[in-house]
Amino acid sequence: ALAAAGCGSPASNGAGQGDANSGEPIVIKFSHVTTPDSPKGQAAEKFKELAEQKTNGRVKVEVFPSGQLYGDKEELEALQAGNVQMIAPSVTKLVGLNPAFQIVDMPFLFNSREAVLKFWDGELGQKLMKSLEPHGILGLAMWENGFKQFTNSKRPLKRPEDFKGLKFRTQAGKVLEAQFKALGAGAATIPFNETYVALQQGTVDGQENTFNNIDTQRYAEVQKYLTVSNHGRLDYVVLVNKSFWEGLPEDIRKALEEALKEATEFERQLAYELDQKSFENLKKAGMEVYELTEEDKEAFRKALEPVYAEFADVIGKEFIDGARALK
Ligand code: LMR
């Protein structure tokens, strides 16, 4: 019966509960907002493949990419309501549950990719993930995307004063709003899957994102200028509905944990490779690129000091100092 359930279409023995004995597979709906070829999209498919293989088909994973099932805000609510079992939102989007997640948005905080990975795999990152539990959510892994860069349609952005009067799309949260305000610019939170149109129609002049998101969302069609700033991070936390996960039979949960561990290794390697590849794609697509010099960065750090003054306590000194100390 288990083998039959592994062959694809759900068994129809009438039980319908997806429990371990019914012969019907347990279904995990995995919803996300990026394209199937993004690192998150490919890793979700990898997790599906590994999870189904390691449970001999007792688990079936259904992946819904590109926000086709739920957008930014809805996916978190859907996870809590149990309408999906797994999502991998960008860390910033958890701000409503714990403002400390905005650590990833503090400008020029993380020194390197390695520092970011150490943060999430270490005590501080784990502490942040644990803070989700009272909300009925378990944070199981961090998936990488990369450092954020600025794009816009109006002019090259080389120094803080170049931002004056422009309006930028942000993912969520007050830190990003404060960042643009400190640069004399406006900000508007717009769901990821509505951002292309907002840029195209000029609702906003620019946005900040990783090379890979800029590339896979085809922003080069509607944005002329790219500033390589590496000023903030965009990474994901893989989240599951807590009561769903804890209600799984022990052996299934173990198999899924293994599948997720392997998918996470795959994802991080891929994100790292695609980051550079996407940068090349953006140059080929005709974007005009400016890379901030050390001197430019100093000017930005200075202009962005008000963000630290305002948010150091909101995020917590422990997290900010801890992140900054990592090499
Ligand atoms: C964004 O909204 O820009 C990103 O969080 C999208 C994503 O999931 O990478």
Per-residue model confidence as pLDDT tens digits over 276-298 = 999 999 999 999 999 999 999 99
Name which of 13, 31, 33, 9 is nearest 22 in CA terms.
Answer: 13
Task: Give the nearest ligand 1 atom to 213 CA.
Answer: 9
Task: Give the nearest ligand 1 atom to 171 CA.
Answer: 2
Hey, CA dihedral for 20, 24, 28, 34, is it positive or negative? positive
Amino acid at 131: S
Burial pattern 61-88, b for ≥16 Cβ within 10 A else e, equals: bebbbbbebbebebbbebbbeeebbbbb
Task: Give the nearest ligand 1 atom to 90 CA.
Answer: 5
CA of 53 to the centre of ligand 1 (A): 29
Task: Give the nearest ligand 1 atom to 145 CA.
Answer: 9
Query: Which 3 state secondary structure label does DSSP give 126?
Result: helix
What is the reported pLDDT for 12? 36
* Side-by-side strand order, sheet with 186-189: 186-189, 167-170, 206-209, 149-152, 225-228, 288-291
Ligand 1 pocket (Cβ < 6 Å) reads 33-34, 90, 145, 171, 192, 209, 213, 234
CA of 268 to the centre of ligand 1 (A): 16
DSSP-derived secondary structure for 184-209: T-EEEE--GGGHHHHHHHTSSSEEEE
Cβ–Cβ under 8 Å, residues 88 and 50: no
- 147 to 53, 144, 215, 230: CA distances (angstroms): 33, 9, 14, 5
Q: What's the mean per-residue pLDDT of the chain?
A: 94
Cβ–Cβ under 8 Å, residues 93 and 72: yes
Give me the tens of pLDDT residue by residue for the chain, a chain 327 residues long. 333 333 333 333 333 345 555 679 999 999 999 999 999 999 999 999 999 999 999 999 999 999 999 999 899 999 999 999 999 999 999 999 999 999 999 999 999 999 999 999 999 999 999 999 999 999 999 999 999 999 999 999 999 999 999 999 999 999 999 999 999 999 999 999 999 999 999 999 999 999 999 999 999 999 999 999 999 999 999 999 999 999 999 999 999 999 999 999 999 999 999 999 999 999 999 999 999 999 999 999 999 999 999 999 999 999 999 999 999
Which of 66, 192, 233 should be mutated for ligand 1, with most atoms under 8 A from CB? Answer: 192
CA of 315 to the centre of ligand 1 (A): 21
Which of 209, 212, 214, 217 should be mutated for ligand 1, with most atoms under 8 A from CB? Answer: 209
Nearest CA to ligand 1 atom 5: 90
Task: Give the nearest ligand 1 atom to 88 CA.
Answer: 8
Which of 34, 102, 237 should be mutated for ligand 1, with most atoms under 8 A from CB? Answer: 34
Burial pattern 173-190, b for ≥16 Cβ within 10 A else e, equals: bbbbbbbbbbbebebeeb
Name which of 90, 100, 93 is nearest 126 in CA terms.
Answer: 100
CA of 66 to the centre of ligand 1 (A): 10
Q: How big, in percent rounded to 5, are the helix, strand and coil portions of the chain?
A: 50, 20, 30
Nearest CA to ligand 1 atom 2: 192
